[in-house]
Amino acid sequence: MSVDHEVRRLDRVIIRFAGDSGDGMQLTGDRFTSETASFGNDLSTLPNFPAEIRAPAGTLPGVSSFQLHFADHDILTPGDAPDVLVAMNPAALKANIADVPRGGEIIVNTDEFAKRAMAKVGYATSPLEDGSLDGYRVHPVPLTTLTIEALKEFGLSRKEAERSKNMFALGLLSWMYHRPTEGTEAFLRSKFAKKPQIAEANVAAFRAGWNFGETTEDFAVSYEVAPATRAFPAGTYRNISGNLALSYGLIAAATQAGLPLYLGSYPITPASDILHELSRHKNFGVRTFQAEDEIAGIGAALGAAFGGSLAVTTTSGPGVALKSETIGLAVSLELPLLVVDIQRGGPSTGLPTKTEQADLLQAMYGRNGEAPLPVVAPKTPADCFDAALEAARIALTYRTPVFLLSDGYLANGSEPWRIPETGSLPDLTTAFATGPNHTLADGTEVFWPYKRDPETLARPWAVPGTPGLEHRIGGIEKQDGTGNISYDPANHDLMVRTRQAKIDGITVPDLEVDDPDGADTLVLGWGSTYGPITAAVRRVRREGGHIAQAHLRHLNPFPKNLGEVLARYGKVVVPEMNLGQLATLVRAQYLVDARSHTQVNGMPFKAEQLAAALKEAIDE
Amino acid sequence: MAYVIAQPCVDIKDKACLDECPVDCIYEGPRKMYIQPDECVDCGACEPVCPVEAVFYEDDLPEAFSEYRVADREVFDGLGLPGGSRDHAPLAADHAVVDAVPVPSRT
Amino acid sequence: MSESLLNLVPKAEAVQTMKDFKSDQEVRWCPGCGDYAVLAAVQGFMPELGLAKENIVFVSGIGCSSRFPYYMNTYGMHSIHGRAPAIATGLATSRRDLSVWVVTGDGDALSIGGNHLIHALRRNVNLKILLFNNRIYGLTKGQYSPTSEVGKITKSTPMGSLDAPFNPVSLAIGAEATFVARTVDSDRKHLTEVLRRAAEHDGTALVEIYQNCNIFNDGAFEALKDKDQAKEAVIRLEHGQPIRFGAKNDKGVVRDPATGDLQVVTVTPDNEDRILVHDAHTPSPTTAFALSRLADPDTLHHTPIGVFRSVERPVYDTLMADQLDHAVEQHGKSDLTALLTGNDTWSVAG
C-alpha cells in the first residue's frame, strides 16, 4: 500500500536526534550527516553528549543528542532551534522540548513512555496525552515495537533487536528528507563485517523505517532540500570534523616539512580522537606515544623535537596545566613543538564534553617567567586543517612551541570540506644545521646553538647525529650565542627580551575586515565563534543594521594592522565563550574600550541571540 | 687532567688530603704524597684542605713547580692503576725530583 | 639472540680517548663530590664503546647530578625536574640511531619523576639510566630524600624523617625492569664494569650508583667503602658464581626453605652446597628482588652490588619501529591525497 505524499521544498532544516546515551544517537547523527554531505547540502553539526559513558538509563543527565543543520545555501552554524526533534524516550523529550519552537515537528518513540520512565524525569502525566504538546506537530511512533517486528525473522533476542531502533529512526528521517541510502547500508555492512547477522538486522531496521514513512498516513509530507551547488566553489568535497581535519593537518604538515611526525599524548576528552586518528596512520611514519601522563606526553614530544621530528602533544585545558613547565622548557630550548589544546569547559575537570574558549589566557600566560609563544586558533571544523599547517609553519620557521587552540565544538562538529590539492599545500621544508656557524676571534670555526637568524631570530636546529655540532641545551638561562649556562644579569635581560622579540616579530597575515556599509560598530571574534558571529552579522545586515566583522586566527602575535582596524570603529564588540579574555588582551594592548559579550554555558552562541546583542550595541 | 702535589708537601706529609679524597687516589711516598693522575677525578677536595698549599690543579701549577706534574705521573710507572690507596702499601721510593730536594737540616 | 641494538648506532671513525668526551665547560660540583668520580668513569668508559660521539645523547633532570650532560662532549639536554626519562623516551623512540643515556638522582628519579621512571622501565625503552643515589637533596641544600633512612635529621626534618625509604633496586625490579644493577661511585673498576654491561643491554638499564654527598650527607656509604667494614658489608654479585662474601669469604647467601626468603649464613661444610649461585639471566624476578631486600636500609650491611637482573624482553623502540614497517606492508606507503580524500566524497562543478 502506498500513500500519496506531498513533497515540499525547503531551503534549510535543523534536525535534532535525542535519546539515551546507549541509544546510538551520535552514530545516527553521523550517518544522517554523511548522507546529507554526499547529497551535496551545506551542513553544520553539533554533537552534544554527557561526560558519563553510560549515565543511568532514562535519566536527564544520560541524554545524548546530535543536531544537524543542512541547507541549499551556505550556512555557518548548527542552527539555533531544531525544526524536527526525534525523541527516543521521555528524558530526551523533556531535555530538548524547550529548544523546539511551537509548530515544530516531534517524532517520539511511544514505546518508551511507560509510567515509570516518565516518572523518572518528572512527568506526572504523559506529555503525549495531557495536551502539553498541542502546539507541536507530534508523530507518535512505536519505534521499539516496529523495530522488533521488522527483525523477527533474524532470530535475535528482544534486547538485541531493540538496539536497531536508532536505524529505524534513521530510515524514517532519511525517507522524510529524501536522503540517499546506499552509504548507510554499505557503512553498516562494513561496521558489522564480523557479525553479518547484526549487519543485516540493522539494514533491515533502516529499510523498515524508510518503508514506514512511505506507507504511513501520519507522515503525509516529505521534504526536499536541494543541494547547495551555488554555495560551494568547484571541487571535490567530503564531510569532516574538526579533530579529523586537525589530524590530517598534522600529517600534511609533516609531509610538507619532510619530517617524521611524533605525537606524545595522554587520553583526554575532547582531544583523544586526534591520538586515535594519528595512531591509524603509521604508514606515514607517524609515531604515536600514549604516555603515562600529560607531562610525559609533552616530554616525549619535546625529546622527539630535539631529535628532529615534527613533534606534537594533544590535550585539553587540565592537561595544559600539567604541561606548563615543559612548555616553558620548550620556550627556553627554542625547539619546534605543537601544543594542541581542544578547549572544554573549566576550571578543573569542568565540563569535559562541552565547549568553551577559556584557555586563551592560559595559553598566553600560563607559565612561570616571561615565556611568550605564538597562539593560533581555527575558526571552523574544516579550518582545523589549515590552522594545523599554519601552526607548524610558525613552529618550524621560528623554532618555538606553538599553541593551537581548538575547542569541543570544532572538534566534534563537522562541515563539508573542499579537499585541497596536495600540490597547493604550503612548503614547510626546514633545514637542520650541518656545520659551524660562528668564527671566533682566533679564526676557529665553531657551532653556537643560540646564534640566531638575524631576520627570524630563530636559532639553528642541530639534531643529534650531526658530527661536530655536539652541544648541550637546558632550562637554565643561556648565554646569548654560545648557549652556555649564564647567570649574568645583563645577559638574562637580553635573552628575555630577545625571546619576546622573536615571537613579536612573527609574520602573520593582516586582519581582514568585512565592512560593506562603512559601519561604526565592529564585531571581533576568534576561534570557533566564527560561524555564530557570521550568522548573526548576516541577520543584523538583513534587517538593515550596519556592522563590520573581523575574525582573529592569530592571537599571538596579533596581526600588525589590528590596532589600526580597532581605531577605525566607534564601538568594538567581542563575543567569546569565556568571561572576556580576548577583550582583556585587546584592551590592554590597544587601549580600546572593547565590550565583551560572553557566554559560558558549554554550548556555542545562538545566532539569533548574538544578533540581538549586536543590534543592541549598534543602537546604543 | 688531574691535581698535582708540589714541593711544599715534601717532608711535611700532613695527609689531610688523604681523608678528603673520595676515590683514594693519593698515595704516600717516603717524603711526599702523590696523586695518581689517571685515578684522580678532578674533584678538587684535596686542594683547600692542604695546610701548606701544596695541591694545584694541573693547569694552575706555578712555573717553579712544573716538574711535579711529571713527578706525580712517573712515580707510578710500572704500578699501573693501583686501584686505591686504602689497600695499598706506601710507595717504596720517591721520584727523582723529590729526591733532589735537600733534606732540611735540623737545628 | 637478536642483533644488539648498539649496532644501529654509527661507530666512531677514529680511536677515541677520554679527552674526546670532556666538554669545554668547567665542572662545578662541590670539591670532593662523588659525581666527579662517576663523570670520570663515564668519560673513561665511552671510548671503549666506540660509538660516534655525535650519536650519543645525555638527558638529565634537575639536581646536582643533572648537571652531568654539560660536561660530556656529546649531545645533551638538561631538562626539568623528574622528566628526563619521558624526554629521553621521545628521543630514543624516534631516533634508534642514538645511544641515549639518562642521568638522574634519587629525588629526581624517585620523587618528582617516579612515574616516568617506572613507566620507562616497564616499557623497556632503550635507555641507560644512571641513578645517582646520595640519599639526600643536595641542590636544595640538604632536605631528606625518598631514599633517606627513617629518622633522618635534616633541615626539613629537625625531629627526624617519618617516611620509609624506597629501595631503588627493589622498585625497578617491581616495575618490570629488564636490567638492574648497583655500584659505588668510588669503585671505578666496578662502576666501569657495570656501565659496560648496561651499555650492552638492549632495553632500559637502570644503574643505581651510590654516590657520596660530602656536604650534606657525608659518609652515607662509608660502611661500603671502609676497607675493614666493606668486606663484611658488601656482597659482590657475579653471574654464575656462588654468592659469598666476608673478610674470610666465610659468609654466604642461602634460601630459607620454609619461607623462600634469602638469608645470610656463615658457610660451613654442611651448608656449602646450599649457597645460592647468582643467575642474573633467570626470567623470574623473584630471587633478584629477594637479593635487593638483603641490605639493612639503616646500616647498609649486606648490600649486594653488581648486576641483579639482566634479561631479554622486546624493546619498545623496536616494537614501535616494527609497527611502522608493518603498517607500510599492510596499507602501502603514505599517500596524502588518498588520505585527505577518504571514501565518501562528492563533486561540485564550477
Nearest CB among C27, C31, C185 relative to B47 is that of C31
Q: Give the Cα separation of A590 and A613 in Å (integer).
A: 23
| Interchain proximity C88–A303, CB inside 8 Å | yes
CA A68 to chain C, closest CA, distance in angstroms equals 18
> Residues of B with CB below 8 A from C185's CB?
22-23
Q: Identify the closest residue of chain C to B1 by CA–CA distance.
A: C19
Nearest CB among C54, C79, C346 relative to A475 is that of C79
Residues of B at the C interface, defined by Cβ within 8 angstroms: 1, 20-24, 39-48, 83-84, 86-87
Amino acid at A156: L
CB C59 within 8 A of CB A300: no
CB C84 within 8 A of CB C64: no
| The most confident of A32-46, A47-61, A401-415, by mean pLDDT | A401-415
> Residues of C with CB below 8 A from A464's CB?
54-57, 75, 91, 95, 98
What are chain C's partners, defined as 3 or more CB pairs within 8 angstroms? A, B
Closest CA to A525 of A580, A563, A570, A564: A580
Interface test with C, best of B21, B41, B47 (most C CBs within 10 A): B41
Residue B31 lies in a domain: yes
Of C94 and A216, more confident: C94
> Residues of C with CB below 8 A from A257's CB?
none
Task: Calculate helix-pair angle for A182-191, A25-39, nearest 10 degrees.
Answer: 140
Interface of A with C in 228-257 (CB under 8 A): 229, 232-239, 248, 251-252, 255
- A561: cell is 594592522
pLDDT (tens digit, 9 = 90+) per residue, A317-356? 999 999 999 999 999 999 999 999 999 999 999 999 999 9
What are chain B's partners, defined as 3 or more CB pairs within 8 angstroms? C
Query: Is residue A322 within 8 angstroms of chain C, CB to CB?
Result: no
> Residues of A with CB below 8 A from C58's CB?
472
Q: How many residues does chain B have?
A: 107
Interface test with B, best of C26, C188, C193 (most B CBs within 10 A): C188
- C294: cell is 638483603
Q: Give the Cα separation of C149 and C296 in Å (integer).
A: 10
- Provide CATH code, domain A513-619: 3.40.50.920
Task: Using CB atoms within 10 Å of the CB of residue C265, give its burial: 0 to 12 exposed, 13 to 18 middle, 19+ buried.
Answer: middle
Residue B47 lies in a domain: yes
Query: Is residue A68 within 8 angstroms of chain C, CB to CB?
Result: no
> Residues of A with CB below 8 A from C346's CB?
37-40, 236-238
Please state the domain count of chain C: 1
| Interchain proximity A237–C86, CB inside 8 Å | no
| Interchain proximity C346–A237, CB inside 8 Å | yes
> Residues of C with CB below 8 A from A37's CB?
344, 346
CA A247 to chain C, closest CA, distance in angstroms equals 10
Residue C39 lies in a domain: yes
Look at residue B83 in the predicted model and tell me its pLDDT.
Answer: 86
Full domain range(s) for residue B79: 3-88
Interface of A with C in 201-230 (CB under 8 A): 229
- A229 confidence band (pLDDT: 50, 70, 90): confident
CA B49 to chain C, closest CA, distance in angstroms equals 11
Look at residue C2 in the predicted model and tell me its pLDDT.
Answer: 62
Look at residue C190 in the predicted model and tell me its pLDDT.
Answer: 97
Fold of domain A238-424: Rossmann fold (3.40.50)
Q: Give the Cα separation of C7 and C96 in Å (integer).
A: 10
Residue B106 lies in a domain: no
Interface test with C, best of B3, B19, B26, B43 (most C CBs within 10 A): B43
Residue B71 lies in a domain: yes
- A272 confidence band (pLDDT: 50, 70, 90): very high
Domain ranges of chain A: 6-225, 238-424, 431-507, 513-619
Quick one: what percent of chain C has pLDDT higher than 90?
Answer: 94
| Interchain proximity B22–C29, CB inside 8 Å | no
| Interchain proximity A264–C330, CB inside 8 Å | no
Residue C250 lies in a domain: no
Nearest CB among C32, C34, C41 relative to B20 is that of C32
**Is A513-619 in the same CATH topology as A238-424?**
yes
Dihedrals phi, psi of A604, to nearest 5 degrees: -70, 160
Q: Give the Cα separation of A558 and A375 in Å (integer).
A: 9
CB B17 within 8 A of CB B5: yes
The CA–CA distances, whole Å, from A173 to A142, A170, A219, A386 equal 15, 5, 11, 34
Chain mean pLDDT for chain A: 96
Q: Give the Cα separation of A453 and C74 in Å (integer).
A: 24
CB A126 within 8 A of CB A113: yes
Quick one: what percent of chain A has pLDDT higher than 90?
Answer: 94
| Interchain proximity B23–C39, CB inside 8 Å | no
- B106 confidence band (pLDDT: 50, 70, 90): low
Do chain B and A touch: 3 or more Cβ pairs under 8 angstroms? Answer: no
Quick one: what percent of chain C has pLDDT higher than 70?
Answer: 99
Residue C72 lies in a domain: yes
- The answer on pLDDT for A2 being more than 60 is no
Residue B36: give its domain's CATH number: 3.30.70.20
Nearest CB among C41, C189, C212 relative to B22 is that of C212
Residue B102 lies in a domain: no
Q: Give the Cα separation of A221 and C279 in Å (integer).
A: 82
- The answer on pLDDT for C208 being more than 80 is yes
| Interchain proximity B47–C32, CB inside 8 Å | no
CB A102 within 8 A of CB A19: no
- C1 confidence band (pLDDT: 50, 70, 90): very low
Nearest CB among C36, C41, C189 relative to B43 is that of C36
Helices vs. strands in chain A: H and E counts, helices first: 20, 25
Nearest CB among C97, C341, C348 relative to A229 is that of C348
End-to-end CA distance of chain A: 61
- A615: cell is 543590534
Closest CA to A450 of A415, A396, A486: A486
Q: How many CB atoms lie within 10 A of CB A52?
A: 14
Helix (H) or strand (E) holding C338: helix C336-341
Nearest CB among C76, C115, C345 relative to A419 is that of C345
pTM of the model: 0.94
pLDDT (tens digit, 9 = 90+) per residue, C149-184? 999 999 999 999 999 999 999 999 999 999 999 999
The number of CA neighbours under 13 Å toward the Cβ of A347 is: 4
Residue B93 lies in a domain: no
- C309: cell is 637482573
Query: Is residue A444 within 8 angstroms of chain C, CB to CB?
Result: no
Look at residue A283 in the predicted model and tell me its pLDDT.
Answer: 97
Amino acid at A282: K
Residue C48: give its domain's CATH number: 3.40.50.970
Task: Reply yes or no: is the peptide bond before residue A557 cis, omega within 30 of 0.
Answer: yes
| Interchain proximity A283–C72, CB inside 8 Å | no
| Interchain proximity C36–B42, CB inside 8 Å | yes
- B7 confidence band (pLDDT: 50, 70, 90): very high
| Interchain proximity B87–C227, CB inside 8 Å | yes
| Interchain proximity B43–C212, CB inside 8 Å | no
- Provide CATH code, domain A6-225: 3.40.920.10
CB A199 within 8 A of CB A189: yes
Segments in A334-469 forming alpha helices (H) = 360-365, 383-398, 408-412
Dihedrals phi, psi of A96, to nearest 5 degrees: -115, -15
| Interchain proximity C40–B20, CB inside 8 Å | no
> Residues of B with CB below 8 A from C227's CB?
86-87
Q: How many CB atoms lie within 10 A of CB C190?
A: 18
Residue B105 lies in a domain: no
Dihedrals phi, psi of A418, to nearest 5 degrees: -75, 115
Quick one: what percent of chain B has pLDDT higher than 90?
Answer: 84
Degrees to nearest 5, angle at CA A373 with A367 and A374:
140
- C113: cell is 619523576
E-strand stretches of A110-227 = 137-141, 221-225
